[in-house]
Structure 1
Amino acid sequence: MSTPSPYRTTAPESDWTAARIAEAAAELVATEGIPPIVQAGHPALRTRAVPFDGQLDAELLDALVLLMRRTMHAAPGVGLAAPQIGLPLSLAVLEDTWAADEESARARDRVPLSFTAMLNPAYAPLGDGRAGFYEGCLSVRGYTAVVRRAAAVRAQWTAPDGSARSAEFSGWQARIVQHETDHLGGTLYLDRAEPRSLCANEEYTARWAQPTPERAARALGFSA
């Protein structure tokens, strides 16, 4: 995959070898239950993930994808990158089939996203449109903040079966793609957030859980 994501990162490259990645993946899938989701401060979240280049055989890769899907569902979340379970490999899983109220879904252009596993994903914006909404992260528990992201993107990735894939995503689907791909570059959503929008989940639920962040922007003093 030669097409870069449109953001530069200062994150260091992971120094994990192919053997170490394979060993760690095998340990993860062999463990009963689901692995813990690592939190901000863990080095796997702040390094550039190793591009997938056959480090895992087909059976182990499929098992890892299934484990990540179960972990994502249990969290619950709509996306999970391998670094979030401590494995610095360029792999992410996405799926958004959670019910959303009609007003929020319309405001956020949120429609279901079927399960997708992406190896070595990259994205580029389509047009200049941007949208700002509150988003959170399974690796930053307890907080949420407004992030302005491209309203539509074209993504390229490799599927677990080795086939090259590309697709256009818009609205909330585009946000999920950007968020999870950013993880693979060592970037957290906080790096792109409006700092004054940051709030604890309890405050968000009590005060700012509207379909759009305009009310919070006026009260907290940030640009929506």
Structure 2
Amino acid sequence: MKNENNISLPQYVTLNIQTLNSSEDKTIRIKAKTLNFPLSSEDLRDISILEKKYDQEENCAGLAAPQIGISKCIIIFAVHEDAELKKWHPDLKDTMPKTIWINPSYKPIGIDKHEDYEGCFSVENATGPVARFKKIHYHAYDINGNQIQGIAEGFLARVIQHEIDHLNGKVFLDYVAPKKIMTKEEYLEMRKKAMEQENIKS
């Protein structure tokens, strides 16, 4: 696949939903490499590729480098204030513009968790409910090696946890009971009916 600048972009590393393993590439199932600063020219090239891949997607909350076969601790994500998004994720509170983090980590604040459905480009046509910490303290670096830290709550905290999981060889379905996994079509139909019921009540 090529973008508008005719730069060839890698395909997603996808998992077999039955085994949750990838036969084509192991990067999605191993711990990614921690980067050193200053970043090398290869690191910067990989970041550029990840960003271009992210930019070509619609409705993409985030991507991690291992998802495109780059086993490095790099993620890119964004959460904007959006009325439609809030319908699907009522816990949308904190927002963040498009951000690239190097070597990110987080620690939960408290033990409270919120369950919500997640999807992933690395797990095709599947979704399931995942319990994530409601509030976290995050730590990362920008591409220049400057430290970034702060607190995230709600949907933003979920996105950060989801992407950092990829750097540790995990995917969201690792937390979902097999009987609760459904296709995206089944999920959309379920949510549509739930929203219709809410409209009737109101």
Q: TM-score, normalised by structure 2?
A: 0.80
Distance 1:117 1:211 in 2: 35
Which consecutive unaligned segments of at least 5 residues does structure 1 have? 1-29, 216-224
- Which amino acid in 2 is paired with 1:45? I
Tell me the equivalent position of 1:84.
67
Tell me the equivalent position of 2:27.
44
Tell me the equivalent position of 1:74.
56
- Which amino acid in 1 is paired with 2:121? L
Give 1:49 deviation, angstroms: 0.5
Q: Tell me, what secondary structure is at the counterpart of 1:153? A: strand
Distance 2:34 2:65 in 1: 11
Q: Tell me, what secondary structure is at the counterpart of 2:48? A: helix
Which consecutive unaligned segments of at least 5 residues does structure 2 have? 16-21
Distance 1:102 1:134 in 2: 13
Distance 1:119 1:157 in 2: 6
Q: How many residues align?
A: 183
Change (3 A) 1:106 1:56: closer
Q: Tell me, what secondary structure is at the counterpart of 1:134? A: strand
Tell me the equivalent position of 2:19.
none
Give 1:177 deviation, angstroms: 0.4
Tell me the equivalent position of 1:19.
none
Give 1:38 deviation, angstroms: 1.1
Q: 1:1-224 to 2 correspondence within 5 Å?
A: 32-40=7-15, 41=22, 42-54=25-37, 56-57=39-40, 59-76=41-58, 77-97=60-80, 99-101=82-84, 104=87, 107-209=90-192
The CA RMSD measured in Å over matched residues stands at: 2.6
Q: Tell me, what secondary structure is at the counterpart of 1:136? A: strand
- What do the CA deviations read for 1:39-93 (whole angstroms, capped 9, x no partner)? 1113101000011124842x54444323212212323311111101101111111
Distance 1:111 1:209 in 2: 25
Q: TM-score, normalised by structure 1?
A: 0.72
Change (3 A) 1:105 1:202: closer
Give 1:106 deviation, angstroms: 6.5
- Name the stretch that deviates more: 106-115 or 194-203: 106-115
Distance 2:111 2:136 in 1: 10
- What do the CA deviations read for 1:160-205 (whole angstroms, capped 9, x no partner)? 1011111111101000100000100001111112433210011111
